[in-house]
């Protein structure tokens, strides 16, 4: 899904050799006066890489100077709430330094202890950073992770204030025998946001004590989305079906979602298309039936689980069961910002009142009014709709 750009060192999923939109962003946020020692306040934000696992790079992201509102530097929930443009999000991310160090996922050290303490905080943390050398100015984007910028080898990090940790979090972090799944589910039910739970899992702070380890951020994102939605699905399968067709829609940063709820037992499918969407290479698709899927959604990847979470949250809220078809039409989304953005778009769609229809033909007509691609190209691919139509024919036969 990309290559390393020679102009800015970023990985470009959709760009060609002669186009680098990141170059000017990196120039604007260059650290001309950066010293090897600086005091910054991390949002808090950490990152655990997956390259060379189990010996990985991990560390803390922080601006090189004090910022009043750091949450907007880090959390997709905040980006969506403030409706930030891609360039603004990238500029914010490129203003941070990724002070990193190498660590085995199972072996602790002093730098790791600082990173873990930062991860637990419910507000920004002042940290004194001592770098071995100045950061390499770069901005890497990824389909699942949020953009990571300016890596620099970390020699020492000192927290210069008391870290504010919620008592509910302490309960699971300091417990010896509570599985990570239980900790994540409990904290989610208490209202902690997804980005925070991802950090706790990634930093190796949850689970049975002697089994804890760092979890690459990319894996943690999918794990948290998957775990929470699976737990919700246990209840959803017991609810009665919706009695009509529901349509929800929303758009942010050229990510246009149309979500169709169908009166049937739990099924779930995501079909993505990137405009112009004229051939097979511009479609991605994953599907699951009534039972839990056994393999990874390798086509849609992390967005599949992020979208599934939004759908499950809604069905749990209304105490109903349905088949869910998620359609994503990708326009000029010129820099992927991770699946957190997509999670928030689909969640927001479900906060609106649904459009309600009596049949699929009316659903088709309504959805086509907002989509630029010929909807037949998508509907003809849908495994969920094929199975629904087959079941309707069978029901009519009897």
Residue ranges of domains in the chain: 3-159, 167-230, 237-397
Which tokens sit at 393?
A: 């024919």
Provide the pLDDT for residue 27: 64
Q: What is the pLDDT of residue 1?
A: 44
User: Global pTM?
Assistant: 0.93
CA 312/CA 321 separation, integer angstroms: 9
pLDDT tens, residue order, the chain (398 aa) = 455 666 665 555 555 555 666 666 666 665 667 789 999 999 999 999 999 999 999 999 999 888 888 999 999 999 999 999 998 999 899 889 999 999 999 988 999 999 999 999 989 999 999 999 999 888 888 878 889 989 999 999 999 999 999 999 999 999 999 999 999 999 999 999 999 999 999 999 999 999 999 999 999 999 999 999 999 999 999 999 999 999 999 999 999 999 999 999 999 999 999 987 656 668 999 999 999 999 999 999 999 999 999 999 999 999 999 999 999 999 989 888 999 999 999 999 999 999 999 999 999 999 999 999 999 999 999 999 999 998 876 666 54
Give the pLDDT confidence score for residue 362 in this predicted structure.
98
| Cα torsion angle, 7, 13, 18, 19, sign | negative
List the Cα angle 21/333/70 in 5-degree steps.
75
Rounded distance between C-alpha atoms, residue 249 and residue 234, angstroms: 26
Calculate the alpha carbon distances from 324 to 8, 247, 341, 384 in Å: 40, 10, 20, 8
**Cα–Cα distance measured from residue 59 to residue 98, given in angstroms and rounded to the nearest whole number:** 7
The CA-based angle 351-357-358, given to 5 degrees, is 145
Structure token digits, residue 74: 């880090």
Amino acid 5: pLDDT: 66
pLDDT at 29: 60
């Amino acid at each position: 899904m990309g290559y390393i750009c020679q102009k800015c060192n970023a990985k470009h999923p959709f760009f060609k050799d002669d186009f680098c939109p990141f170059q000017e962003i990196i120039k604007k946020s260059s650290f001309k006066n950066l010293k090897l020692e600086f005091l910054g306040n991390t949002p808090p934000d950490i990152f655990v890489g997956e390259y060379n696992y189990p010996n990985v790079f991990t560390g803390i992201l922080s601006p090189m100077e004090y910022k009043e509102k750091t949450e907007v530097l880090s959390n997709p929930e905040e980006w969506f709430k403030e409706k930030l443009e891609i360039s603004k999000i990238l500029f914010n991310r490129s203003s941070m330094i990724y002070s990193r160090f190498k660590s085995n996922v199972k072996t602790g050290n002093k730098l790791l202890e600082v990173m873990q303490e930062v991860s637990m905080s419910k507000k920004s943390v002042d940290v004194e950073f001592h770098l071995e050398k100045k950061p390499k100015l770069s901005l890497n984007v990824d389909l699942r992770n949020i953009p990571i910028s300016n890596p620099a080898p970390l020699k020492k990090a000192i927290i210069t204030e008391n870290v504010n940790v919620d008592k509910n979090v302490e309960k699971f972090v300091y417990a010896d025998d509570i599985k990570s799944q239980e900790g994540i589910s409990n904290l989610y039910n208490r209202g902690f946001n997804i980005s925070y739970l991802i950090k706790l899992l990634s930093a190796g702070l949850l689970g049975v004590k002697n089994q804890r380890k760092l979890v690459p951020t990319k894996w943690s994102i999918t794990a948290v989305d998957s775990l929470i939605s699976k737990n919700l699905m246990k209840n959803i399968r017991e609810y009665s079906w919706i009695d009509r067709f529901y349509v929800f829609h929303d758009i942010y940063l050229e990510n246009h979602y149309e979500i169709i709820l169908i009166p049937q037992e739990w099924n779930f499918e995501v079909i993505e298309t990137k405009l112009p969407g004229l051939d097979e290479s511009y479609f991605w698709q994953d599907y699951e039936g009534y039972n839990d899927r056994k393999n990874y959604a390798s086509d849609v990847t992390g967005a599949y689980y992020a979208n599934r979470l939004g759908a499950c949250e809604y069905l749990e809220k209304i105490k109903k069961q349905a088949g869910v078809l998620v359609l994503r039409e990708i326009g000029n989304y010129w820099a992927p910002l991770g699946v957190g953005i997509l999670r928030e778009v689909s969640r927001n769609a479900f906060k609106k009142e649904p459009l309600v229809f009596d049949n699929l033909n009316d659903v088709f007509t309504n959805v086509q009014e907002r989509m630029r691609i010929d909807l037949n190209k998508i509907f003809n691919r849908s495994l969920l709709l094929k199975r629904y139509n087959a079941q309707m024919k069978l029901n009519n036969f009897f």
